[in-house]
Amino acid sequence: MFGRDTIAAFLEWVQGAGPWGAVLFGLAYIPAAVLFVPASVLTLGAGFVYGVAQGTVIVSLGSTAGAVAAFITARSVGRGWVAARMARHPALDAVGRAVESDAFKVVLLTRLSPLFPFNLLNYAFGLSPVPLRTYVLASWIGMLPGTIMYIYLGSAARSVAALLSGELHRTRGQQALFAAGLAATVAVTTIVTRRARRALSAIVSTP
């Protein structure tokens, strides 16, 4: 599932599927999140197919829906299995304790920090006392910077094959404009994630 050939076929299909293609594109993040499937290539594909603005909306809504699906799974049918898996990750256990004091801030910072795996974090918060509404809002906001960066990268591809092979060639003028925009996006994302990492470290280390 979500192999290179599958993603290529899916991207080719949604290009001509109109509004329903966009809806299904967003829904694809739900099984990806629940089944621990990395969806970074899918996000790059959103940039290629839909562009930065529309792609950001689709992926933002889809990835948040996927995060919620995994969260609910952890709180219901998968609680025992998730608890056993979390025991192998002390850092996530510390996050679970920290969320008791400031749920919104902790969820937001972990979403901004690249230190925590997206799919595993969804389940970790499912075992924590964080309210669902708080989890949804903080996750949605915290995932936006990384989402925009991946979509911006994907928007540089000239074909599905080029996207999947990493060939993002454009004219010199387009490359210059793209490089400037990408540099700004990466710079902002880096600054935000570094600050989030420091703030989160301070919260987790507090007794």
Q: What is the pLDDT of residues 82-129, one digit of tens each?
A: 666 666 665 666 666 666 667 887 788 778 776 677 888 888 888 888
Contacts 24+ apart (CB under 8 A), 84-91: 85/120, 85/123, 86/123, 86/124, 86/127, 89/120, 89/124, 91/115, 91/116, 91/204
**Encoded tokens for 168:** 């993002």
Query: Could you write out the DSSP letters of every residue in 55-100?
Result: HHHHHHHHHHHHHHHHHHHHHTTTHHHHHHHHTT-HHHHHHHHHTT
Length of the chain: 207
Within 10 A of 45 (CB to CB), how many other CB atoms are there? 28
With pLDDT > 90 as the criterion, what percentage of the chain qualifies?
Answer: 20
| pLDDT confidence of residue 137 | 95
Inter-helix orientation angle 103-112/172-205, to 10°? 140
Residue type at position 28? A
The pLDDT of residue 171 is: 47
pLDDT of res. 67: 94
Using pLDDT thresholds of 50, 70 and 90, give the confidence band for residue 174.
very low
Q: Is the pLDDT of residue 177 over 50?
A: no
Mean pLDDT of 24-44: 88
Average pLDDT, the chain: 76
| Residue 183: per-residue pLDDT | 60
- Residue bearing the bigger pLDDT, 126 or 67: 67
**Average pLDDT of 60-70?**
95
Query: Alpha carbon of 18 to those of 15, 160, 181: distances in Å?
Result: 7, 17, 28
Please, what is the angle between helix 40-75 and helix 132-154, to 10°?
Answer: 170
Q: Is the pTM of this model over 0.85?
A: no
Task: Give pLDDT, residue 129.
Answer: 82
